């Protein structure tokens, strides 16, 4: 099998997610295979993946250890009842995750995506306060430009206006948002953590004053905001959030769906920034993207508080048919083992300075208005065309695909990069050469 499967199907039926469907279907970009750092396309080309799947596949596509684990597991135990029954792989993966996590994180609740992990984390926070008889703690604090998936909880605490617009009137009522931390006047072209902006965390203190700190259940943030176009936290910002949460008994949730598993050169961003939250959500890199899975890691005291009560009843009325799915768990175990065996997180960390230098070389382009990076996450923000925000970014994406044999991600006019954790400097150089040409051509 060479990966070049000719695509003969119809295009109408598949309603594609976060995609300009009609535009896409006029000239579809269809992937039929993948190997290592490359995709194969339905028109017989091999294109380089500059985004590691969708922030998912840091080890490269179709990693043999992971595909073998999936094949073996699906022939051994394809599905296992997840309520009142358990499977060996889910227990093993939970143990492995707690060993990797910051100290004190000793329990894991499995979901199937980042969105489910986010909603699960919010429900755990509410259940915790209920169990502690702090029933007034019902308010959540999210952040402008935050992304916590598309389910109603995550959408309510998220702060990307386009995602919320159609659903605004039905979102959770008790939610406030911190300001986002992007500021072109102070922070344009920052490398790593911007020096300006730690004080923006003080808005949490102001929200505590306005609503009463004792009414707030949890604050949820991405340590580095990803989907909105890479907003690294200002130096000291996360630490300040932690302090204010502690002062008011508020749980701090880090949504690490992107940042966990090497993306910021460590097992978790919590470790990299030296700030420990109470709950961590993960997905994506957990299985190297090979099978959907999400996981919520919690401190032991949260598990202990909730998991009391009559021995014959579930303590937490929440769960999914596929929570801890054995095939996903086997993929997760293989991914974590491979990260360890191949020294992936260290390798990613060592690549960071090269990535930083090369992405910032685009700063001289007249259509570029900002560049930001942290870990192996980077964004090149383009000036929007008059009256057509997003059009220039989409054109660059298409030119990359059709003319440069390169897959990049554009969120509107913000080009985003998530190189493989085991990419080489030459891969990064090649990526940005192609991107520069595509920005030129897009005009
Ligand atoms: C921080 C964060 N949380 C949640 C999600 C949602 O994950 P999923 O698309 O798997 O539901 C994402 C997806 O990009 C994310 O980046």
| Structure confidence at residue 2 (pLDDT) | 45
- Same domain flag for 207 and 109: yes
Pairing type for strands 216-221 and 251-255 reads parallel
Range of the domain at 202: 67-341
| Residue pLDDT, tens place only, 89-103 | 999 999 999 999 999
- Please state the atom number of ligand 1 nearest to the C-alpha of residue 225: 1
CA of 135 from ligand 1 middle (Å) equals: 29
- Please state the atom number of ligand 1 nearest to the C-alpha of residue 255: 1
* Ligand 1-lining residues (CB < 6 angstroms): 113-115, 118, 147-149, 222, 226-227, 255, 257-258, 283
Q: Specify the range with the lowest mean pLDDT, choosing from 8-12, 207-211, 318-322.
A: 8-12
CATH classification of the domain holding 432: 3.90.1150.10
Return the residue whose CA atom lies nearest to atom 14 of ligand 1.
227
In the listed set 292, 319, 341, which residue is the last one of a domain according to the structure? 341
| Structure confidence at residue 4 (pLDDT) | 53
| Residue pLDDT, tens place only, 221-231 | 999 999 999 99
In the listed set 288, 322, 341, which residue is the last one of a domain according to the structure? 341
| Residue pLDDT, tens place only, 325-345 | 999 999 999 999 999 999 999
The angle that helices 202-211 and 237-248 make with each other, rounded to 10 degrees, is 20
In the listed set 289, 309, 341, which residue is the last one of a domain according to the structure? 341
The mean pLDDT value of the chain amounts to 97
Phi, psi values for residue 350, rounded to 5°: -70, -25
Tally of domains within the chain: 2
| Residue pLDDT, tens place only, 286-301 | 999 999 999 999 999 9
Could you tell me if residue 8 is inside a domain? no
- Same domain flag for 98 and 39: no
- Same domain flag for 172 and 298: yes
What is the secondary structure of 373-393 as a DSSP string?
EETTEEEEEEPPBTTBTTHHH
Could you tell me if residue 111 is inside a domain? yes
- Please state the atom number of ligand 1 nearest to the C-alpha of residue 222: 1
pLDDT tier at 213, thresholds 50, 70, 90: very high
């Amino acid at each position: 099998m060479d990966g070049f499967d000719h695509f003969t199907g119809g295009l109408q039926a598949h309603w594609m997610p976060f995609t300009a469907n009609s535009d896409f279907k006029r000239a579809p970009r269809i992937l039929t295979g993948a190997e290592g750092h490359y995709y194969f396309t339905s028109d017989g080309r091999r294109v380089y993946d500059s985004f590691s799947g969708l922030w998912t596949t840091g080890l490269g596509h179709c990693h043999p250890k992971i595909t073998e684990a999936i094949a073996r597991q699906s022939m051994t135990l394809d599905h296992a009842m997840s309520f009142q029954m358990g499977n060996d792989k889910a227990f093993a993966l939970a143990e492995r995750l707690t060993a990797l996590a910051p100290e004190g994180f000793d329990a894991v609740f499995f979901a199937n995506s980042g969105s489910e992990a986010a909603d699960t984390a919010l429900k755990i926070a509410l259940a915790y306060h209920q169990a502690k008889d702090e029933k007034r703690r019902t308010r959540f604090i999210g952040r402008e430009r935050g992304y916590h998936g598309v389910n109603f909880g995550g959408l309510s605490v998220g702060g990307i206006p386009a995602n919320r617009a159609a659903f605004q009137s039905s979102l959770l009522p008790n939610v406030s948002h911190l300001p986002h931390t992007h500021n072109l006047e102070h922070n344009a072209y920052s490398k790593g953590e911007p020096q300006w902006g730690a004080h923006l965390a003080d808005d949490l203190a102001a929200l505590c004053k306005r609503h009463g700190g004792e009414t707030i259940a949890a604050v949820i943030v991405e340590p580095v905001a990803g989907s909105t176009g890479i907003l690294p936290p200002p130096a000291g910002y996360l630490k300040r959030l932690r302090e204010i949460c502690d002062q008011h008994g508020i749980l701090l949730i880090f949504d690490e769906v992107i940042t966990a598993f090497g993306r910021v050169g460590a097992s978790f961003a919590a470790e990299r920034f030296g700030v420990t939250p109470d709950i961590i959500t993960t997905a994506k890199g957990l299985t190297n993207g090979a099978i959907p899975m999400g996981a919520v890691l919690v401190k032991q005291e949260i598990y202990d508080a909730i998991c009391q009560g009559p021995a014959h009843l579930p303590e937490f009325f929440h769960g999914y048919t596929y929570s801890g799915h054995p095939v996903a768990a086997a993929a997760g175990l293989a991914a974590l083992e491979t990260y360890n065996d191949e020294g992936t997180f260290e390798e990613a960390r060592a690549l960071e300075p090269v990535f930083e230098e090369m992405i910032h070389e685009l700063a001289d382009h007249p259509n570029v208005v900002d560049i930001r990076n942290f870990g192996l996450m980077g964004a090149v923000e383009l000036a929007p065309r008059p009256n057509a925000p997003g059009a220039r970014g989409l054109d660059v994406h298409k030119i990359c695909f059709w003319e440069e044999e390169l897959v990049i991600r554009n969120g509107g006019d913000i080009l985003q990069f998530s190189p493989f954790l085991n990419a080489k400097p030459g891969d990064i150089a090649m990526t940005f050469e192609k991107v520069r040409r595509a920005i030129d051509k897009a005009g």
